[in-house]
Structure 1
Amino acid sequence: MFPIRDENPKPPGFKPKVTYALIIINIIVFFFEVAVTGQFFEFSNNRAAALFYEWGAVPACIMGESSITIQQIRVSCPDMPMLGLLSSVFLHGGLMHLGGNMLFLWIFGDNIELKFGRAKYLGIYLVWGIIAGLAHVVGDMYSPIPAVGASGAISGVLGAYLVMFPRAKVTTFLMMGFFWRMLHVPAKWYLPFWLLFQNVLPFLIGGFGFGSGGVAYLAHIGGFAIGLATGYLYKKTHRPEYMYGSRYGWKGD
């Protein structure tokens, strides 16, 4: 099921500037990657490897190794490997990787930004990305393979969205062979479906670390979990009329 948009109105005049800025920054970094690697759809050459090892989240380096073995060649870890937990949030492995992540951020990020406020949302987004990266590191502690992508942070957005807007509907494109239709699925069903079938089951089938296609499933699961916890804490610490924006004539749950 491919999401198109959410049916969760915002107050008149609201512009999710942080969400827009994050998307723009990711696109700018992507074109920097294109310039460095000379590739577009998938970054897979030696220049891409060097870029990702320097700025991605490399579990073995983060766990304290001074060097790692890559294709039988021993190379030194970056001087500040922990920085990769942050910088990796803005790197992507190719056009499809970037496009999928930015679509989910575009659909679900604006309502979360509205609830948290711009400054808090930006800080929490980055924290979600770091924690998601740490979840991946814990699951594959001595892997020399760098993890990159905003999907851990965006999984945090999805987890918070599930708690805060469970009844908001997600317009979804469903295609099965020659059959297709548009569905309007409540977030309380769509997001758990996404977590279970796109992440949990592939993770269990493929084991710890990266799954098929180089997907860091545990980063997605960890990001979603911390997003759930953040959304739950927010609901517990804010009055219902503030939480659901009744002064705007709309409801979040």
Structure 2
Amino acid sequence: MSFDPSWLALREGADAAARASELLDPLREALPPDEPLVIWDLGCGTGSQGRWLSGRLRGPQHWILHDRDPALLDLARDNAYVTADGLPATIETRKGDLGSLRASDLVGASLVTASALLDVLTAAEIEAIAAAVACPALLTLSVVGRVRLSPADPFDGEVAAAFDAHQRRGGLLGPDAVTAATEAFGRRGASVRTRPSPWRLGPARSALTAAWLRGWVGAAVEQRPELGPRADAYLRRRLAECAAGELTAEVHHVDLLALPGGAS
């Protein structure tokens, strides 16, 4: 699965605003205090997680950006990460699939992180990550199957259900991913905490709201083609409301912090 860089750029501001910053203090406490950090960013895309997180952690940092898409890795390689101390971080990129990730790949890692990743993985891929990671893991912005639009529309629920089914296609976990990851890390002795990280979309993010609507409804129709005519009319209504500044949406996500050995 690959992602359009323009979509990743469009959502970056909403992602940054949504991430659960209250997980940062326990994460900082769990990181080694007096040595450079080696941080793996899994499914890094264009590097938005690193742009957000590097400036919230102190000390020297070396980022290893991991993705299966070489075009995204080329874009991520051009990042300039700056730490909370104002120091430049170093970056390298590695191409690979998450299902083949092993503990030996992560030797020396101080932190493993990812953004908007868990819900596009299978149970086997999440198990592989949990088995490979022996350091703290901060996994942000996983969808959990809850969307609230205002004003409400009678067709909202049907679109949401079809979208969630699309998220689960082909063995992907979709909105079940946070539960699966919590269980996978927990079975390996990690202490896991989760916090909500919802997108709050409205007139200030109208371009993102419109793009999200098109993708949300499009995935629903792909899953259930018989929704097509009603979905087309629904999308036109919603886009008109968006353009008029009358539509808001909460798209719920959850952030997960797993600390090894039951640390808390």
Does the TM-score normalized on the shorter chain lie above 0.5? Answer: no
The structure showing larger relative contact order (alpha-carbon pairs under 8 Å, at least 6 residues apart) is 1
- TM normalised by structure 2 equals 0.27
More helix by share: 1
Q: What TM-score results when the alignment is normalised by the length of structure 1?
A: 0.28
